[in-house]
Structures are given as structure tokens and as C-alpha cells.
Amino acid sequence: MSGRLVRLGMRVVHVCAAALLVALAGTPRAGQAAEWPTRTVTLTQTFAGGGTMDFAVRSIAQAMTESFGQPFVVETKAGGSGLVGLLATAKAPPEGYDFVVTAIGPMVFRPMLEKDLGFDADKDFEPVILIGATPNGVLASPKIGVSTVAELKAWAARNGNRLNIGMPGVGTMGQYCGVLLLEKLGIEGNFINYRGATPMVQDLLGGQIELGTPAFGPSTMATKVLAVAADQRLDVAPDVPTLKESGIDLTCSTWNAIFAPRGTPKPIIARLNAAIAAYLEKPETKKAFSGIGLTPWGGSPERVTAQMADDRKTWGDIVKRLQPSNPKQ
């Protein structure tokens, strides 16, 4: 009997040991994070190139390539108001080689508008870091010949009190900033959806639309910037007044952040967070980002989660109130 018990005990030990090895094989170890990355890392940005997000993520990719000794490449997957890139990353293997750069619109506003987006902003992604925030600008087409918000209102009054306004995607800060601005000015808007600020600027320059309210960025300077929806003027555009200075009590800011697919090893996220946070703290980074109107934020992954929760409280009622006027994609 004792021999049988011994053999039974040994069998249990072998089974438990095998199970432990299987479990450890699927569990990220500190050594794995220390070795990461061993190949190319992809940063998917979700809006058309040429804007603030594009500039920021390419700067970060170059810095991370130098920091880790492996290529960090930027891949643009625009479309669906930022959803195309998010969906692609949500389905990527959570191995630390696929990340997505997105904004407040797709991660906070859009889920308030639609239940079935194909992803869950909280459950399908791991937050990595907040890159920073950019105030939205009020851009006018040079074709209509206005230089101030007051002149814009007067122009609209002479033209049926209605204008064509571009937005960088459904459910973006650019949309809500535009809706609230026209509401305060008493102007009716025909909203037109774009895949980011760059194609919108092209149509502003061509006169196809009269107004746009995207996040301020390099491409926006080609148009007539009437105001910025910030608390104070931007260093890069000191002659451009704020909306408050223009008599409109409205501030709008678009943040960008990096996320990973759910299940990406925490040690890898911690390493990438620390490296990007250090880069954002550099004086030369702050100077370069200030040159495009972007204020670096940084912080822990938990700060991303807290920011999303705060924005849901701040903008939730506004999004619900304006939902009936949201144009289709």
C-alpha cells in the first residue's frame, strides 16, 4: 500500500510540475522585459499624416529607436474617425511590438455615441502614456477674407447665417469644439467629416469649406487662424488671440496617448513608459513640441486611465446633448 501511495504521490508531483512549466511559459518574466525589444516595434497612428499627432509620434519613434537600439516605425492607419487603427491594434498579438497612438475622441467620445464599435476602450487596451495636449484652433478659409471671430460672424450673417465647417472625424474634440462654437455664435453649420486635419486644411485653402476647428498643428498655419480655444496664447502663434479674448467663453483641447493591446506584459509597458516619459521631460523636446502648440504631459499609465475618467465626467452631458446633430461617417 505504501509503495502505491509513493507512486501516486510522484505522479501528482510530475503533473503539478508540468502544469507549472506550462503556466510559466505563458507568463512574462522580468528577463523577457529586460531583453525587449528584439525586433521592430510598430506605432500605429490613427489619423492622416501631417498633423500634431504625426509630428509627435514620429519624434517619439526616433527617440525610442535610439534608446532601445531597435527600429520603432510609424504606420498610419487612418479612417473611421480613428477607429481603423484602433481595431487593428486591438487584434494584434500582445507581445510588446504593436502600439497605437490615438486621441480623446476615439477613446472617450466615440464610445459614448455608439455601443458596438468593435472594441472596448477600457477592456481591449493597456494604457501606456499620455503624450500631451493641443488646443483646438479656429481656422478660416482665406477665400472668405475674415481675420477675426467677429468678422466671421458678420460674414455668416451676410451669407444666410450658415457655413460649411470641417471636422477631423465623428466624435472628435474637433467636432464638439465646432458645434459649441457655432452654437455660441448663433451660426448654423453644415458639418463635413475628414480623415484628420491635413485634408481639411487642403479644402479650407481651396475654399470648399469656410471653417474648421481641429487641434492646432503645423498644417493649420497655412490657413487663417482666427483664434485658439486655449486659456492663453500659444508661444508658436503669439499674435493669435484666444477665443476668450475674442468674446467666446470656450476652451477645447485634444490629447494624444499611446495604448497597447490588452495582455501586453506590464514590465514592457513600464519600460516604454519610462523611456517616453524621460524623452518628454527633455528641454529640447518641450521646445520642439511647443513649436507646434503641443504641451507634453507624460506620467504613469494610470494617469491615462484617470484622464479618460475625468473627460467622461466633464464632457458626458455635452456629448449626449449634441448627439442628435452628430453627422454620419
Q: Is the pLDDT of residue 17 over 80?
A: no
148: three-class secondary structure by DSSP: coil
Host H or E run for residue 273: helix 266-281
- What the chain holds in terms of domains, given with CATH numbers, is 38-133+254-325 (3.40.190.150), 137-253 (3.40.190.10)
pTM of the complete model beyond 0.85:
no
Contact assessment for residue 121 and residue 113, using Cβ atoms and an 8 Å cutoff? no
Higher per-residue confidence, 196 vs 135: 135
The pLDDT > 90 percentage for the chain reads: 70
Sign of CA dihedral 40, 43, 49, 54: negative
Mean pLDDT, the chain, integer: 88
- pLDDT greater at residue 197 or residue 313: 313
**Res. 20 pLDDT band, cuts 50 70 90:** very low
pLDDT at 78: 87
- Summarised one tens digit per residue, pLDDT across range 229-261 is 999 999 889 999 999 999 999 999 999 999 999
Residue type, 24: L
What was the pLDDT predicted at 198? 83
Query: CB–CB of 265/186 below 8 Å?
Result: no
> Model confidence at 49, in pLDDT bands (50, 70, 90)?
confident
pLDDT tens profile 156-214: 999 999 999 998 878 889 999 999 999 999 999 999 998 778 889 999 999 999 999 99
Q: How many helices (H) and strands (E) does the chain have?
A: 12, 11
Cβ neighbours around 130 below 10 Å, total: 24
Indicate if the pLDDT at residue 4 is higher than 90: no
- In this prediction, residues 271-296 reach a mean pLDDT of 95
Identify which of 201, 146, 141 has the alpha carbon closest to the alpha carbon of residue 168. 201
CA atoms within 13 A on the CB side of 273: 23
Q: Is the pLDDT of residue 323 over 80?
A: no
Q: Please calculate the CA angle 325-326-329 and round it to the nearest 5 degrees.
A: 145
Please report the pLDDT score of residue 177 as a whole number. 94
pLDDT at 32: 59
pLDDT of residue 31: 54
Q: Give 97 or 47, the one with higher predicted confidence.
A: 97
Write out pLDDT tens, residues 109-125. Answer: 999 988 889 999 999 99
Query: How far is 115 from 45, CA to CA, in rounded Å?
Result: 23
Amino acid 21: pLDDT: 40
Pairing of strands 72-76, 162-167: unpaired
Q: Residue 194 gets which letter from DSSP?
A: -
Mean pLDDT of 79-98: 93
- In 3D, which of 235, 219, 278, 268 has the Cα closest to residue 66? 278
Strands 98-103 and 253-261: antiparallel
